[in-house]
């Protein structure tokens, strides 16, 4: 993503992998609603505020709560360099886990490298049910540049470096960050398949792809997730979401809060309708945006990010919000 905001069932996890204690998930069905009791693990003591309230969905043979955390904003301004408040960045990550978040999305390009290092510093040794997903395939030669690099040699180097930074022996979900127009797409995905066969990757995901690219990748590997820009005001990936929903592929919407559109005022009628619902419910518009995503599709896994604990808690509160059919119809 930019600065704006195969499963192989025979694979055995090696000792230090993040997800060694995950239970195996059944074949994909509709997202599982939250149980009436509190989730086990760190979220159990977090009171009613819990990401578990969003229910769960599978990532390949793993299962996570359906509200994750995007670890892009814990870096410096412009997703570049160290965070202005190191302690707050660590506190955000730890509080996310306390609140039942067991899916954290990051990338080597965030910082670059800073986000992955902070995750390790804050959370290692990792909780047994925590799935850390990272991405490779973008270079950051400067703060303003996000340059695709899909060369197989680079993807291998990037994956192996992420393994070291995160201090794991296998990455639970490794995502190709963005197709590189200079490199055949199949060559890039093929290298991920080789890394998977070597046990360095458990599951493969894609980011910033269209339906054609998704189909091309699925001819080579099992794709368990797609991460594309998607929110109430930007639905250009609706066709990709249809494929994901049909075939049980998790869809991770980046820029889930439509911040850029909301910052310019509620000129979009869909944002205006959602804003009205937020006022009626006396909730924040960003909470309403997350609730809309959760109601939009059972394969949706929002990953809102923030650098502040208070904002994190506001986002997690959205896990318990459920928009009804009439409200969804109003938004369109």
- Cα–Cα distances in Å, from 198 out to 13, 111, 170, 194? 12, 28, 10, 6
Q: Where are the domains of the chain?
A: 41-331
Whether residue 28 has pLDDT greater than 50: no
pLDDT bucket at 16, cuts 50 / 70 / 90: very low
Per DSSP, the chain holds a count of helices (H) and strands (E) of 11, 11
What is the mean predicted confidence (pLDDT) over 267-293? 95
Task: Give SS3 for 305.
Answer: coil
pLDDT given for residue 41 in this prediction: 36
- Note if 110 is an active site residue: yes
The one catalytic residue in 110, 126, 174, 230 is 110
pLDDT given for residue 71 in this prediction: 98
Between CA 217 and CA 174 the distance in angstroms is 14
Between CA 114 and CA 90 the distance in angstroms is 12
For 190-248, how does the pLDDT look when each residue is reduced to its tens digit (9 = 90+)?
Answer: 999 999 999 999 999 999 999 999 999 999 999 999 999 999 999 999 999 999 999 99
Lowest pLDDT segment from 9-23, 102-116, 137-151, 302-316: 9-23
36 secondary structure, DSSP code: S
Between CA 255 and CA 77 the distance in angstroms is 16
The pTM of the full predicted model, rounded to 2 decimals, is: 0.87
pLDDT bucket at 53, cuts 50 / 70 / 90: very high
Between CA 330 and CA 232 the distance in angstroms is 12
H-helix or E-strand spanning residue 229 = strand 223-229
Whether residue 26 has pLDDT greater than 50: no
For 233-276, how does the pLDDT look when each residue is reduced to its tens digit (9 = 90+)?
Answer: 999 999 999 999 999 999 999 998 876 555 555 579 999 999 99
Between CA 273 and CA 270 the distance in angstroms is 5
Fold of 41-331: TIM Barrel (3.20.20)
Task: Give SS3 for 121.
Answer: helix
For 95-150, how does the pLDDT look when each residue is reduced to its tens digit (9 = 90+)?
Answer: 999 999 999 999 999 999 999 999 999 999 999 999 999 999 999 999 999 999 99
Of all residues in the chain, what percent carry a pLDDT higher than 70?
83
pLDDT given for residue 169 in this prediction: 98
- Answer whether 69's CB lies under 8 Å from 101's CB: yes
pLDDT given for residue 228 in this prediction: 98
Of all residues in the chain, what percent carry a pLDDT higher than 90?
82
- Per-chain mean pLDDT for the chain: 88
318 secondary structure, DSSP code: G
């Amino acid at each position: 993503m930019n600065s704006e905001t195969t499963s192989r069932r025979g694979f055995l996890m090696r000792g230090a992998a993040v997800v060694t204690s995950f239970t195996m998930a059944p074949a994909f069905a509709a997202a599982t609603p939250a149980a009436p009791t509190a989730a086990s693990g760190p979220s159990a003591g977090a009171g009613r505020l819990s990401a578990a309230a969003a229910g769960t969905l599978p990532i390949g043979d793993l299962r996570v709560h359906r509200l994750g955390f995007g670890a892009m904003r814990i870096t410096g301004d412009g997703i570049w360099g160290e965070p202005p408040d190191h302690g707050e960045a660590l506190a955000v990550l730890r509080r996310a886990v306390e609140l039942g978040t067991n899916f954290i999305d990051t990338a080597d390009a965030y910082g670059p490298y800073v986000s992955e290092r902070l995750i390790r510093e804050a959370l290692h040794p990792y909780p047994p049910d925590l799935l850390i997903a990272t991405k490779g395939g973008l270079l950051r030669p400067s703060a303003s540049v996000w340059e695709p690099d899909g060369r197989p040699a680079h993807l291998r180097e990037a994956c192996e470096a992420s393994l070291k930074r995160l201090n794991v022996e296998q990455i639970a979900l490794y995502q190709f960050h963005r197709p590189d127009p200079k490199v055949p797409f199949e060559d890039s995905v093929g290298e991920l398949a080789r890394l998977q066969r070597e046990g360095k990757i458990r599951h493969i995901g894609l980011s910033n792809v269209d339906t054609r690219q998704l189909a091309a990748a699925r001819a080579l590997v099992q794709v368990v997730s797609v991460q594309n820009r998607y929110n109430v005001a930007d639905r250009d990936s609706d066709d990709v979401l249809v494929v994901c929903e049909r075939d049980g592929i998790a869809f991770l919407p980046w820029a889930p809060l439509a911040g850029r559109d909301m910052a310019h005022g509620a000129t979009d009628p869909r944002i205006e309708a959602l804003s009205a619902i937020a006022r009626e419910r006396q909730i924040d518009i960003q909470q309403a945006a997350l609730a809309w995503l959760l109601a939009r599709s059972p394969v949706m896994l929002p990953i809102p990010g923030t650098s502040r604990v208070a904002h994190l808690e506001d986002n997690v509160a959205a896990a318990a919000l459920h928009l009804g059919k009439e409200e969804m119809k109003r938004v369109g």
